Homo-oligomer: A and B are copies of this chain.
Amino acid sequence: MGRYSKQSLEIQVQQLAQAAGVPAADAVIFASSLVDADLHGVSTHGVSRLSIYLRRIQERLIDPAAPLTVDRERGSVLALNAGNGLGQVQARKALDRLIPLARQNGVAAATIRNSQHFGALSWYCNAAAEQGLVLLAMTNCEPAMSPAGGYEPFFGTNPIAASFPTRRGFPVKIDLATSIVARGNIIAAQKKNQPIPEGWALDPEGEPTTDPQAALLGTVLTMAGHKGYALAMMVELFSGVLSGSAVGSNVGSMYKHLDRAQNVGHFFCLFDITALLEYDEYLERMDETIHRIKSSRKRNGVEEILVPGERSARVAAQNLAQGIPLSPDTLSELEQWCRRLKVEFNCHEVAACTIS
């Protein structure tokens, strides 16, 4: 796998997005989101998705220049309509609109309907943390999980996330899907012809399976049984029902449905820390909390206790220094899109590397 500089990847993605009809400033936002996911080692939400976004733009399933409009507005709350634009662009603009409201009132919230798969939640949460704010973010997604007792995919993997600023050079980042495992892990097992562990998925008849193929045709299980079901429901109600977007199995699939928009819904709630306590005091309290967690007693064989977000911050630092790894498949897709959209292919390896 080759490694590529953050800047060169961002420029390449920007150019392709622009060539597909995304306005220049929006293409910068979009590229930043995709490359940031790869930077943090979340390649499933990174440049590997560019191809399907471009395809959906070309098929007119995404409007690359849609305005973000306000359906309803009261005090610190906005009900927004993404107009079927790029999720990353619209949600980032929504965050920008919430920031002055949160600074003024201490808290601000928005729902966003008519959107798409919008990448990793932590990109938005970390952006808020950089401004000294805490963003709680949720989104519904294309159906993958069933309610407890069922076997029909209804919920997406419905993630929930929040990032908290620290003075340690990285935010404490909570970002988790409510599924027991990412679908990507099942796809990986399928590619390697390996069975998946019991308890991950049901086959299309609702029976437990260890066959990745059957699992992909069936449903992924929620994390922690009924608790994951309850959390997935909460995410669906905040992001789907309250936003006015599609709900549950009505959300379109990014890859399977090339005849209709996804109509994903997002939910943001933004908090200004300084409405609650002095920022320095907050940072001190965070630092002490992190210190106490990291210095607590370790189980046999455990070298270090990490706080959520610490590992991915290390991956990002390494990738920033050494270049971001990109799979040969993703690279070849980039090349093809460059030819198709008449954009110069400019991704040159920083260094060759082996990723375990």
Contacts and interface: CB of A to CB of B under 8 A. Distances in A.
B72 A275 contact: yes
A205 to B, nearest CB: 9
Interface in A222-241: 223-224, 226-231, 233-234, 236-238, 240-241
Contacts of A72: 275-277
Contacts of A160: 231
B174 A230 contact: yes
Interface string A103-131: 01111110100000000000000000000
A167 interface: no
A34 interface: no
Which interface class (under 10, 10 to 19, 20 to 34, 35 or more) fits A?
35 or more
Given A150-B298, A271-B109, A79 B277 contact: yes
A132 to B, nearest CB: 13
A contact face: mostly helix, strand, loop, or mixed: mixed
A37 interface: no
A295 to B, nearest CB: 10
Contacts of A170: none
Contacts of A277: 72, 79, 242, 244
Contacts of A75: 76, 104-107, 275
Contacts of A164: 237, 241
Interface string A89-113: 0000000000000001111110100
A305 interface: yes
B269 A236 contact: no
Contacts of A224: 180, 223-224, 227-228
A300 interface: yes
A297 interface: yes
Nearest to A176: B227
A172 interface: yes
A304 interface: yes
B242 A276 contact: yes
Contacts of A292: 154, 247-249
A148 B273 CA distance: 27
Nearest to A109: B107
24 contacts: A74-B272, A75-B106, A75-B275, A77-B276, A134-B242, A146-B296, A146-B297, A148-B305, A148-B306, A149-B302, A150-B296, A151-B297, A174-B230, A206-B298, A206-B299, A224-B227, A233-B307, A236-B289, A241-B285, A242-B282, A244-B276, A244-B277, A247-B288, A248-B293
A147 B276 contact: no
A31 interface: no
A180 B172 CA distance: 22
Nearest to A247: B289
Contacts of A247: 285, 288-289, 292
A174 B226 CA distance: 10
Given A75-B105, A150-B299, A172-B237, 11 more contacts: A74-B105, A74-B272, A75-B76, A134-B238, A172-B233, A174-B234, A176-B227, A176-B231, A202-B299, A224-B224, A241-B285
